Amino acid sequence: MRILIIEDDREQCTLLQFRLEKEGYSSDICCDGDDAAYYLSSNAYDLILLDCMLPHKDGLTILRELRTSGNTVPVIMLTALGELGDRISGLDCGADDYIVKPYEFGELMARIRCRLRRSSGIESLDRLCVGDISFSAEEKVLTGPADSCTLSNKEGELMELFLRNPDQTISRSTILSRIWGADYEIEDGNLDNYIYFVRRRLRKVSSTLAIKTVHGVGYRLSTEG
């Protein structure tokens, strides 16, 4: 699970990142509204923690742009703006939850777990259901309309990444970093080979889902067939 923290207080960002990593979540931090656009276009996230008051571009503008682009990633607002009108504005702009500072970390974790369970058709944090397939991330078993099959570790990690981000373009650099690690040396063509393997798995179970090539950028799991 990867979380993006967008918060202008760098000390709070660093502390929250540390506590999230102790809970088993990886995270990136961003302290500027303009920089947030770069992070969101360059990486796929499972959840975003978003402050309202940011330099250069405020949180509500970021949220509106995110939803207008069709990105459905869960967003929890973390802000000192706690008036009723502020909460209504945040939720109307597309936030999935709204937490007023100061907050208890335990409550934040409970809300994160809740949003992750509900997002992208996930029945549980292990089993992912999108379109006509389900996938057990733990057992690496893919089940479709006609059959089931077991995926290799790397195939399974790729499948999980796509299923957690349906209909979102994921850049090649993001895929390589998330699956093989930022410092891992891998030939670029190897990614194409693994994409071919995952496509073959989808065909084997007779799924209508398809991994589309977005030329010059990366790949996208299309739920439109």
Residue 23 CA to its chain's centroid (Å): 17
Q: How far apart are CA 100 and CA 51, in angstroms?
A: 10
- The domain of 145 spans 127-222
The pTM of the full predicted model, rounded to 2 decimals, is: 0.59
What sign has the CA pseudo-torsion 152, 24, 90, 56? negative
Greater confidence, 190 or 141?
A: 141
Residue 122, pLDDT > 50, answer no
For residue 40, give the nearest of 8, 64, 11, 21 by alpha carbon: 64
Cα–Cα distance list, 222 to 52, 124, 171, 204 (Å): 32, 22, 15, 17
Q: How many domains does the chain have?
A: 2
Same domain, 17 and 106: yes
How confident is the model at residue 125, as a pLDDT? 52
Domain boundary among 121, 150, 179: 121
How confident is the model at residue 126, as a pLDDT? 63
Residue 82, pLDDT > 50, answer yes
SS3 217: coil
Same domain, 136 and 210: yes
Domain boundary among 99, 121, 143: 121
Domain boundary among 121, 137, 168: 121
How confident is the model at residue 225, as a pLDDT? 59
Greater confidence, 212 or 177?
A: 212
Q: How far apart are CA 153 and CA 150, in angstroms?
A: 9
Same domain, 214 and 105: no
